[in-house]
A and B are shown apart, each in its own frame.
Chain A
Amino acid sequence: MVRFFTFILTALLFAGLTYTVLSLPQQTQGLAQTVGSQMQNSGVSNPVTAVLMNFRAYDTLLEMAVLFIALLGVYSLGSSAREAKSLLKSPVLKRLGGILVPVLLLLSAYILWIGAQAPGGAFQAGSILSATGILIFLSGWKLDLSYKNFFVRLLASTGLLAFVLVSAITLLFSDTLLEFSATEASYFIFILEAAATVSIAITLFNLFFTIFAQPKEEK
């Protein structure tokens, strides 16, 4: 019976999606032209970064808030005492980590930097950074990035803090939130992206860490 209803619902969803796709107009203008005409005021030359960090920076501010709230949720679920000790013990991981970690750090910095003119940016760089953290953690290196550490908590909130501070600064000079002037935009965007990278890295790493770290044995 449940299967039957699931089938009906899935079929309805499929029909709806098909109808939506088929009813799309053949030729659409999109917003590409609008974005293209404003590109010289955005401070970056990659349209995706321009939209995320300048034209729709308010959305990104809210996204950072969502990530931060998700991290708080994970913190509240994690049990209290945890050791920074991996469950995996493999010599291969240890050697590979030694080779890969410097390369990954460099790659993450490169992706953050190149985001201004080519595909890349804060989210990609941050997730590469957190993957590096996970690799370090799994390789069995002592790495205390748990939220017990005040410094880690500070880093996790950097992105949101930077966004709020920059919004406050822009409000001082203009009437609109997160409105950058064409000359300063690239600096503001770089600060925001760098802060967001750190926060995203810490957040994603801690999502993993909270599950995988061993509970501390009580003595």
Chain B
Amino acid sequence: METLAIVEFVFDMLLSSSLLFVAYKTLTCKDLFQAIVFFIVFGLLISVAWGRLGAYDVAMAEVVIGAGLTGALLLSALVKLKKMNID
């Protein structure tokens, strides 16, 4: 039981620190495509965090809307932006 608690603690610490790191990278990334990919990764990680907190409804909504749909929307907007620059 004791080892399980330690494993959970280490996992939570890793999760929260990688969340912070990915959030930082999302904001400071120069390349827009990379920033979007980081944003999607952030969405996936934060849904894991919601799952750890026991809010499975929110986790599900976050993984579909936050990571999936918003990512797709941002990517399509990026394609649009690139097309506008070329034209």
Name the prevailing secondary structure of the A interface residues: helix
> Could you say which residues of chain A place their CB within 8 Å of the CB of B76?
208, 211-212
- Find out whether the CB atom of A208 lies under 8 angstroms from the CB atom of B72: yes
- Find out whether the CB atom of A204 lies under 8 angstroms from the CB atom of B57: no
> Could you say which residues of chain B place their CB within 8 Å of the CB of A121?
57
> Could you say which residues of chain B place their CB within 8 Å of the CB of A208?
69, 72-73, 76
A113 within 8 A of B: no
Name the prevailing secondary structure of the B interface residues: helix
B9 within 8 A of A: no
Closest to A205 in B: B69
> Could you say which residues of chain A place their CB within 8 Å of the CB of B77?
211
Q: Mark B54-71, 1 if CB is under 8 A from A, else 0.
A: 001101110011001100
A positions within 8 Å CB-CB of B: 48, 87, 111, 119-121, 123-124, 127-128, 130-131, 134, 204, 207-208, 211-212
Q: 9 interchain pairs (CB within 8 A)? A: A119-B59, A120-B57, A123-B61, A124-B60, A124-B64, A128-B64, A131-B64, A208-B72, A212-B79
Contacts A111-B60, A119-B56, A211-B77 supplied; 11 other A-B pairs, CB < 8 Å: A87-B79, A123-B61, A127-B64, A127-B68, A130-B69, A131-B64, A131-B68, A204-B65, A204-B69, A207-B73, A212-B80
